[in-house]
Amino acid sequence: MYQGPTYYGRAQLKPSPFNNWVVGGYVFLAGLSGGAALISAIADAVRPIGAAGAVRRGRYLAMLAPLVGPLLLIEDLRTPSRFYNMLRVAKGTSPMSIGTWILMAFSAFAGLGAAAQFASDRLGWLWPRRAARATQVPAAVAGAGLATYTAGLFAATSTPLWAAAPQSLAVRFGASSVAAAGAALSLAERSARTRRALDAITVAALATELAATEASHRSYRRAGVDGALDGAWGQVEKIGATGLGAALPLGLLVASLALGRRAGRLSQAASLATLAGSALLRMSIMGAGDDSARRPEISLRFSQPDNLPRV
Instruction: Supply the pLDDT for residue 19.
Output: 85
Distance CA 43, CA 217 (A): 33
Instruction: Supply the pLDDT for residue 2.
Output: 47
**SS3 label, residue 80:** helix
pLDDT digits (tens, 9 = 90+) for 76-107: 777 666 666 666 676 766 777 888 889 999 99
pLDDT digits (tens, 9 = 90+) for 124-135: 767 778 888 889
CA distances from 63 to 73, 217, 224 (A): 16, 33, 40
pLDDT band at 1 (very low <50, low <70, confident <90, very high): very low
pLDDT band at 262 (very low <50, low <70, confident <90, very high): low
* Per-position b or e across 162-178, b if 16+ CB within 10 A of its CB: bbbbbebbbbbbbbbbb
Instruction: Supply the pLDDT for residue 238.
Output: 96
pLDDT digits (tens, 9 = 90+) for 15-36: 888 888 899 999 999 999 999 9
Instruction: Identify residue 134 by its one-letter amino acid code.
Output: A
Has residue 142 got a pLDDT over 50?
yes
Rg, Å, the chain Cα set: 20
Q: Kindly state the average pLDDT of the residues 296-310.
A: 70
pLDDT digits (tens, 9 = 90+) for 204-220: 999 999 999 999 999 99
Instruction: Supply the pLDDT for residue 107.
Output: 93
Q: Kindly state the average pLDDT of the residues 153-182.
A: 94
pLDDT digits (tens, 9 = 90+) for 108-125: 999 999 999 999 888 776
DSSP letters, 198-252, are: HHHHHHHHHHHHHHHHHHHHHHHHHHT-GGGGGSHHHHIIIIIIIIIIIIHHHHH
Per-domain boundaries in the chain: 18-156, 158-311
Instruction: Supply the pLDDT for residue 307.
Output: 52
| Contact predicate 65/80, CB 8 Å | no
Instruction: Supply the pLDDT for residue 37.
Output: 96
Has residue 200 got a pLDDT over 90?
yes
pLDDT digits (tens, 9 = 90+) for 37-77: 999 999 998 876 778 899 999 999 999 999 998 888 788 77
pLDDT digits (tens, 9 = 90+) for 227-246: 999 999 999 999 999 999 99
| Mean pLDDT estimate for the chain | 88
